[in-house]
Structure 1
Amino acid sequence: MKLATLKDGSRDGQLLVVARDLKTAAIADGIAPTLQRALDDWNFIQPQLEELYNRLNAGRAAYSFEFDPKNCMAPLPRAYQWADGSSYVNHVELVRKARNAEMPDSFWHDPLMYQGGSDDFIGPCDDIVAGSEEWGIDFESEIAIVTGDVPMGVKVQHARDHILLLMLVNDVSLRNLIPAELAKGFGFFQSKPASSFSPVAVTPDELGDAWKDGKVNLALRSSVNGMLVGQPNAGVDMVFSFPQLITHLCKTRNAKAGTIIGSGTVSNKDASKGYSCIAEKRALEMIALGEPVTPYMKFGDSIKIEMLDKNGKSIFGAIDQSVVEPDW
């Protein structure tokens, strides 16, 4: 099943059910007004949404219309919690190596995770507004899950049962603001503006056999200004699976329905697969050349993030954004 949120002038938009081919959609307000409302009572509401989804795919849904990602908010325009991990330790290792910093051995068996801002996500085709190019504007292509209610202390073998939806993420980062923030020893804040998400969130069954062991075994494609710069396989070199990330998050707390957990920047050890953020490309250049060459994003630059199935069809729709100056 594929779900989206239509812009309607409100904070949380209207819940849409979207056809598998992403061509048509139907408003689901007769079942649940918003995605968060559906997640709050998933066991009751999910079968009703699934029935509408089946009718839509069969061309029998009343009042269906053409689906346009430009009219979408993030599937969850705001969420109770957004926790981003760093499952692809290769990415962390490269970035640290570029600045001659040793990586603690614990990073290989204890996930990194931070809590980001979740009150104001960006729509999949909305502009990335940045105050200055000097801030080091970067994209980060990731995958995220949305959970139902998860109890504190959940075991890994049970955590997968709490994964309700998956999405793509652009975890926008302002690289030149990060060093000073981390030096304070209190984590990211100004350096992590609002993230954006794919047009649709999908249930795990939509991935077929690509969804295995709590990982998505497909290439995540990133294109800057129309040029493909990376297509690493998200199931390769993922040290911590999504169930492991859930277990890490819930070691000392419950997670409520609508919690979003990110994978971190998708990265493969095979450098021929390209990169999912400019910082990793610059790290490789620093290691090889002694200095970074690739610039961060400028005003007018675009980023497109998408995942295709084995038949070349888009699964989540594309995050397709431009970087712009603020109008204030």
Structure 2
Amino acid sequence: MKLGTLRAGGRDGTLVVVSADLGHAVVARDIAPTLQAALDDWDRTAPALAELATALEAGSVEGRFALRIEDLAAPLPRAYQFLDGSAYLAHVERVRRARGAEMPPSFLEDPLMYQAASDGFLPPVGTIPVSSEEFGIDFESEVCVVTGDVPMGVGPAEAANHVQLVCLVNDVSLRNLIPAELAKGFGFVQSKPRSALSPVMVTPDELGDAWRDGKLHLPLLTWLDGERFGAPEAGADMQFSFHELIAHAAKTRPLAAGTIIGSGTVANQDESLGASCMAEKRMLEIIRDGKPSTPFLSFGARVRIEMLDGAGRNIFGSIEHVYEPYRR
């Protein structure tokens, strides 16, 4: 099933069940007022939401309405935490090689992960405000999962039972602010503003055979100003599955229901499939030419991120934004 959140209804919006073709929806208030409330009581709410989804597809549910994507907030307008990994070592290796550094052997066994902003996510369509182009504006096209309650010390095999939903994210990055922040030794703050989630989140069963072994085996499409920027295969070259990322995050603490785990920038060894962020394209130019030739984003740039199933149907809806100057 597919779940979304209407902007109406306060900071956490109003939970809706969305049809498979993203064309219609029905409010699920009688089951749970918000998606977070549904996740908090998933054993009870998931079967009821699935039953409502079946009725929606059959056209037999009262309150069915035509859905406009622009009426949606992020499926989780705010989350208890967003832990973003870096599971694609092709991306990590290129970034390090471009600055003359080798990838430590430990990266093959120990995932990179940081605590990202989660107190608010941008709506899936609209604008992304940034204070200055000098910050080095970039996008990062990623896959995410949302967990239920995860016990501390869970292993990867058990973690598989705690993946409740899957979605996409544009992990907005301000590249020119990153070096100074990392040099302090405490990680990202100013260089990682609010990100944008896809219009809907889906249960793993909605993905069929494309979801297996804790990975989503479909191309992740990114478009920049109407032209294809990249289409790497999200299931290929993923060093750490989502099950392993969850286990890594839960090694010393439990994870609350509604925790978002990100894959990091999707990248393949096959460079012909394109990239999922401007930084990687620039790194490849540095490796090839000794310097980057592609600038970071300017105001007015339009980025679209989406994933299609084998029949060409949009699974999560499209994340689509124009970057603009921030105004109070």
Comparing 144-153 and 59-68, the one that deviates more: 59-68
2:265 corresponds to: 265
1:152 corresponds to: 152
How far off its partner does 1:310 sit?
A: 0.2
Deviation string, structure 1 residues 76-95 (Cα, Å, up to 9, x no partner): 00000100000001101101
**DSSP-derived class of the 1:296 partner:** coil
How far off its partner does 1:127 sit?
A: 1.0
2:222 corresponds to: 222
Give runs of aligned pairs for residues 267-306 of structure 1, distance below 5 A.
267-306=267-306
2:73 corresponds to: 73
1:174 corresponds to: 174
1:236 aligns with 2:236: yes
Structure 1 residue ranges (4+ consecutive) displaced by more than 4 angstroms after TM superposition: none
Relative to the length of structure 1, the TM-score reads 0.99
Deviation string, structure 1 residues 92-116 (Cα, Å, up to 9, x no partner): 1101111112221111110000001
Equivalent AA in structure 2 for residue 278 of structure 1: M
2:53 corresponds to: 53
Equivalent AA in structure 2 for residue 141 of structure 1: S
1:10 corresponds to: 10
| Rounded Cα–Cα distance in structure 2 between residues aligned with 1:58 and 1:265 | 37
How far off its partner does 1:125 sit?
A: 0.4
How far off its partner does 1:31 sit?
A: 1.0
| Rounded Cα–Cα distance in structure 2 between residues aligned with 1:28 and 1:251 | 35
1:202 aligns with 2:186: no
Deviation string, structure 1 residues 113-159 (Cα, Å, up to 9, x no partner): 00011101111003110000000000000000000000001011111
Deviation string, structure 1 residues 234-292 (Cα, Å, up to 9, x no partner): 00000000000000000000001000000000000000100000000000000001110
How far off its partner does 1:9 sit?
A: 5.4
1:186 corresponds to: 186
RMSD: 0.7
2:37 corresponds to: 37
1:89 corresponds to: 89
| Rounded Cα–Cα distance in structure 2 between residues aligned with 1:92 and 1:50 | 39
| Rounded Cα–Cα distance in structure 2 between residues aligned with 1:318 and 1:234 | 16
| Rounded Cα–Cα distance in structure 2 between residues aligned with 1:9 and 1:165 | 22
In the alignment of these two chains, the number of paired residues is: 328
**DSSP-derived class of the 2:228 partner:** strand
**DSSP-derived class of the 2:199 partner:** coil
Q: Which runs of 5 or more structure 2 residues have no equivalent in the other structure?
A: none
| Rounded Cα–Cα distance in structure 1 between residues aligned with 2:174 and 2:155 | 35
| Rounded Cα–Cα distance in structure 2 between residues aligned with 1:288 and 1:132 | 29
| Rounded Cα–Cα distance in structure 2 between residues aligned with 1:61 and 1:274 | 43
Equivalent AA in structure 1 for residue 54 of structure 2: N
Relative to the length of structure 2, the TM-score reads 0.99
**DSSP-derived class of the 2:126 partner:** coil
**DSSP-derived class of the 2:229 partner:** strand
| Rounded Cα–Cα distance in structure 2 between residues aligned with 1:143 and 1:195 | 13
How far off its partner does 1:67 sit?
A: 1.3
2:312 corresponds to: 312
Equivalent AA in structure 1 for residue 279 of structure 2: A
Q: Which runs of 5 or more structure 1 residues have no equivalent in the other structure?
A: none
